[in-house]
């Protein structure tokens, strides 16, 4: 188990990661990234990046691509699905074992009504990933779309069970982020133990509830203002228990810090947050 952080693949991040002492990165591809493997040039750039990271002894533990496929019109939906298929196939070529994404949701449909569409879109992707020995990990981000409505099928254990039923393959699993579970009031330690065979990648992000605002508004009003993301070690999540349980369940992946959402240590201060999180988590890891 190695400690890393999330990056868009910039040279600056590579240099910073080595200087702080990280051993791993999770590569996140935005829709406008030149590294998207939709063209031969994009695939070539990804290969060059992998070789560069190898030279610096930084492991790329996963590639993430995170659109909401189900909320798009048909043509855009098909483009996104093709992109994710290219991500899967390129990951196999450059020997990155896990690809991460959102399950998404069409907010105009009831929760359960999304699953036939989800199955139709993702079953061919799951089969292709299985052929290539690639794991697909769905992040448990709630992605609130309208007040308290959850906009991602993979946000809760209820949704996970339906996903695993729709895609009955052992290489379909989760990108575990305890901050989202903490925010929703779900026991993030129980998740580790109950879904240990399905956890393929870990995002390390902390969170805290702003109790003065909860007192004023309750948890059912203005949800985004009563909670904020933090770098690991600066919020309320018990990282000692998380790391201990990851060792206990024999987790074989890496822990990659996703800290860019911290309201204090962001933009020009993000390096300080990464240093704090590295200090906190590396003290718990072998």
Judged against a pLDDT cut of 90, whether residue 264 lies above it is answered with yes
Cβ-Cβ contacts under 8 Å for 36 (sequence gap 6 or more)? 29, 42, 65, 83, 86, 87
- Residues paired with residue 242 on neighbouring β-strands, in sequence order: none
Q: What is the pLDDT of residue 216?
A: 86
> What is the Cα–Cα distance from 274 to 270, expressed in whole angstroms?
6
Banded pLDDT at 147 (limits 50, 70, 90): low
Q: What is the pLDDT of residue 134?
A: 98
Fold of the domain spanning 3-282:
TIM Barrel (3.20.20)
Mean pLDDT of 206-213: 92
% of the chain surpassing 90 pLDDT: 87
C-alpha closest to that of 207 among 187, 240, 241, 180 = 180
Banded pLDDT at 220 (limits 50, 70, 90): confident
Mean pLDDT of 234-254: 97
Banded pLDDT at 148 (limits 50, 70, 90): low
Judged against a pLDDT cut of 90, whether residue 144 lies above it is answered with no
Q: What is the pLDDT of residue 286?
A: 83
Radius of gyration of the chain, Cα coordinates, nearest whole angstrom: 18
Strands 206-209 and 227-230: antiparallel
Banded pLDDT at 246 (limits 50, 70, 90): very high
**What rounded mean pLDDT belongs to the chain?**
94
For the chain, the first-to-last Cα distance in angstroms comes to 8
pLDDT digit string, tens, across residues 176-199: 999 999 999 999 999 999 999 999
> What is the Cα–Cα distance from 138 to 176, expressed in whole angstroms?
8
CB atoms < 10 A from the CB of 66, how many? 19
pLDDT digit string, tens, across residues 2-34: 999 999 999 999 999 999 999 999 999 998 899
Q: What is the pLDDT of residue 218?
A: 84
Mean pLDDT of 165-177: 98
Q: What is the pLDDT of residue 62?
A: 98
Q: What is the pLDDT of residue 143?
A: 87
Structure tokens, 273: 């947050």
Banded pLDDT at 222 (limits 50, 70, 90): low
**Sequence-ordered alpha helix ranges (H) in the chain:** 11-20, 40-55, 74-93, 115-131, 157-166, 178-184, 188-194, 211-217, 239-248, 270-282
Mean pLDDT of 109-128: 97
The model carries a pTM of: 0.95
Judged against a pLDDT cut of 90, whether residue 217 lies above it is answered with no
CB atoms < 10 A from the CB of 124, how many? 11
Mean pLDDT of 135-142: 97
Cβ-Cβ contacts under 8 Å for 77 (sequence gap 6 or more)? 69, 70, 121
Judged against a pLDDT cut of 90, whether residue 66 lies above it is answered with yes
CB atoms < 10 A from the CB of 64, how many? 23
């Amino acid at each position: 188990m190695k400690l890393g952080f999330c990056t868009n693949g910039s040279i600056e991040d590579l240099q910073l990661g080595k200087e702080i002492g990280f051993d791993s990165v999770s590569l996140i591809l935005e829709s406008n990234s030149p590294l998207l493997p939709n063209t031969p040039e994009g695939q070539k750039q990804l290969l060059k990046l992998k070789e560069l990271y190898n030279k610096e002894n930084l492991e790329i533990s996963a590639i993430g691509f995170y659109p909401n496929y189900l909320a798009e019109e048909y043509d855009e939906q098909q483009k996104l699905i093709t992109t994710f298929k290219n991500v899967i196939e390129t990951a196999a070529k450059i020997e990155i074992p896990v690809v991460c994404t959102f399950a998404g949701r069409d907010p105009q449909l009831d929760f359960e009504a999304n699953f036939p569409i989800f199955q139709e879109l993702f079953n061919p992707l799951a089969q292709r990933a299985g052929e290539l020995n690639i794991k697909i990990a769905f992040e448990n981000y709630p992605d609130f779309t309208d007040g308290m409505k959850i906009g991602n099928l993979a946000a809760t254990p209820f949704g996970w069970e339906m996903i695993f039923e729709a895609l009955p393959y052992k290489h379909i699993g989760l990108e575990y982020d305890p901050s989202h579970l903490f925010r929703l009031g779900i026991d993030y330690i129980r998740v580790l133990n109950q879904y240990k065979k399905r956890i393929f990648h870990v995002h390390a992000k902390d969170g805290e509830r702003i109790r003065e605002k909860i007192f004023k508004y309750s948890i059912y009003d203005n949800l985004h203002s009563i909670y904020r993301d933090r770098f690991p070690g600066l919020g309320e999540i018990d990282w000692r228990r998380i790391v201990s349980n990851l060792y206990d369940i024999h987790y074989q992946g890496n822990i990659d810090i996703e800290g860019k959402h911290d309201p204090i240590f962001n933009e020009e201060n993000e390096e300080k947050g990464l240093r704090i999180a590295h200090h906190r988590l590396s003290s718990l890891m072998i």
